[in-house]
Structure 1
Amino acid sequence: MAQLRFAQIAGMNLHYRMYSLDYFFDSMDKHGVSHIELWGGSPHLYSDTATDAQVKRIRQELNRRRLGLVCYTPEQIMYPFNIAAQDEAARRAGIAYFGKNIEIASALEAEYMLITSGWGYYNEPREEAWKRSCEALRTLADKAQGQGVTLLLEVLQPMESNLVTDLASLRRMLNEVGSGAMTGLIDTVAMAVAGETIGDYFRALGGVPHVHLIDGTPSGHLALGDGHLPVESYLKQLAEHGYAGYLTLELADSAYLTDPDAAFGRSVDRLRPLLSP
């Protein structure tokens, strides 16, 4: 059976946010990682304050360093943007936020941009929030299609949302939005929390274009080896399904903020013997 390749690893700057973006780029070079998923948030690239010149500089720096951009992921859990919000002004602000980020993704020449469903009040009928989310995602998918970007809809954990929280709700939302510019991805933590498997995703979606490969207990976005998820088994299953996309190490625990390079390095070192050169 063919193995996945080391070149499929992608770093992410989310847990590097207490350091400069150049430090993150240097860290990728240090560990021999040639692809990244760019987290869009302050201070590295926040859409509300980003300028065309800043976006252009980042694109030029990626080119200079020969770093491939596999996905652009604007912050959407820590920041108060909710496309399913009951308050209409808040919902419009959420749609505008993601619309601006679609434009940034296009300017960065990113093929994919990650997006989530938002959430509704837990004391209102879930279907009302579902309708608002679906309508917003349809609007954003139309914009993404016009910008040449494909949206990757990510499953969230129940503590983060009451909408798209497992494979069944992911499939339902994708079907109801009905856009060729939006598909799903695998996040191994959300998958494990929902009690689902790699095989479940491939059978349900027919193919998976992108993966967040992270450890957990099962929750938490931990460095590989800091949790107890069966990462080696995940890699074998992905290889069995012929997965050809990238494996983003999306580390998010605040324990890694002061020394992000060490956490990333441990994860890379754990993967290196499991992947083909």
Structure 2
Amino acid sequence: MKLSFFSASMERYPIERVFQAAQEFGYEAMELWGGRPHAYAPDLADGDVKKVKQLSKDYRLPIISFEPDMVTLSWKDPRWHKENMDYYKVCLDMISELECPYMVLAALHAEFGNNYKDDWNQLIDSVGILAQHAEKRGVTILLETIAQFEGYLMHRCDDIIRVMDEVKSPYVKGMLDMLTAITANEPSSEYFEKLGKDLKHIHLVDGKKDNEAHLIAGDGELPFEEVLAMIHSYGYDGYCSLEHFDEYRGEPILFNHQAIRRVRAALQNIGLE
């Protein structure tokens, strides 16, 4: 199983310290957070892309996915919507420069009082436009479901499939965030069964049904050895990013070390490492 480091878990550290920690702990790749001080797309376009590419090379950690500093695609004010679309296009441009294959995209909350059908149609139009830009740059957009606490358009695997069906682009695929399967009360196996080869990435986290906390293996409700065995049984050959947030940001280096140790130990226990 290929494990990647999600840089957002060390958001208070400069980007070089993040690469250093990921290498020290034995991660095999980097999922890059597109916020400051790591890889905010306008900063990359202003010259920082060369620095990040060099860090990836120096620390022998390929950048295998990029998660922008997420902005909603549901603003009804056309000025705000255009600004956010332009931002995502810059992200795609810079991801291509970084030789990274994937951009993660989620549908976050915007305004209350909107019509669901209007929001959905705007999402489809937006993803379609971004998919055309992604094709020009050789980047694939990965649709990520989110917990109901974060948005209401894409909660379940079927929502990803619906977007893919309506956008009809080979540059739009799906991914699995283990937490959103928990909060949606949906078996994570549904993503493997329904997406098949269109499942391109996994956020390998633990969690609980009643909140959006992204926990390290063993701190939530999942039987993690069985989770790893399931992933292996489906023949998944992509990366699994260990994505952890607020609960660990006071000591991110210690907890990221603990996270990968727990996953490696679980893999050993079931004979996969």
Q: TM tier, shorter chain?
A: over 0.9
Q: Could you tell me which residue of structure 1 aligns to residue 252 of structure 2? A: 260
Deviates more, 1:107-116 or 1:40-49: 40-49
Q: What amino acid does structure 2 have at the position aligned with 1:24?
A: V
Describe the SS at the equivalent of 2:173: strand
Aligned equivalent of 1:58, options 52, 56, 71: 52
Q: What amino acid does structure 1 have at the position aligned with 2:21?
A: S
Q: Does the aligned pair in 1 maintain the 2:20–2:59 contact within 8 Å? A: no
Describe the SS at the equivalent of 2:32: strand
Q: What amino acid does structure 1 have at the position aligned with 2:27?
A: V
Q: What's the CA shift for 1:171? A: 1.3
Q: Could you tell me which residue of structure 2 aligns to residue 230 of structure 1? A: 223
Aligned equivalent of 1:149, options 139, 157, 177: 139
Q: What amino acid does structure 2 have at the position aligned with 1:272?
A: R
Q: Does the aligned pair in 2 maintain the 1:120–1:162 contact within 8 Å? A: no
- 1:241 has 2:234 as partner: yes
Q: What's the CA shift for 1:49? A: 3.2
The size of the alignment, in residue pairs, is 266
Aligned equivalent of 1:45, options 39, 42, 61: 39
Aligned equivalent of 1:192, options 179, 182, 187: 182
In the alignment, the residues of structure 2 paired with residue 264 and residue 92 of structure 1 have an alpha-carbon distance, to the nearest angstrom, of: 37
In the alignment, the residues of structure 2 paired with residue 51 and residue 104 of structure 1 have an alpha-carbon distance, to the nearest angstrom, of: 7
Q: Could you tell me which residue of structure 2 aligns to residue 67 of structure 1? A: 61
Q: What's the CA shift for 1:198? A: 2.8
Aligned equivalent of 1:221, options 214, 217, 221: 214
- 1:272 has 2:264 as partner: yes
Deviates more, 1:104-113 or 1:19-28: 19-28
Describe the SS at the equivalent of 2:31: strand
Higher relative contact order (CA 8 A, sep 6+): 1
Q: Does the aligned pair in 2 maintain the 1:40–1:73 contact within 8 Å? A: yes
TM-score w.r.t. length of structure 2? 0.93
Q: Does the aligned pair in 2 maintain the 1:84–1:129 contact within 8 Å? A: yes
CA RMSD of superposed structures (Å): 1.5
In the alignment, the residues of structure 2 paired with residue 188 and residue 110 of structure 1 have an alpha-carbon distance, to the nearest angstrom, of: 23
- 1:158 has 2:152 as partner: no
Q: Could you tell me which residue of structure 2 aligns to residue 173 of structure 1? A: 163
Q: Structure 1: state its 5+ residue gaps.
A: none
TM-score w.r.t. length of structure 1? 0.91
Q: What amino acid does structure 1 have at the position aligned with 2:166?
A: E
Relative to structure 1, is the Cα distance of residues 234 and 264 closer, same or farther in structure 2, using a 3 angstrom cutoff?
A: same
Q: What's the CA shift for 1:52? A: 4.5
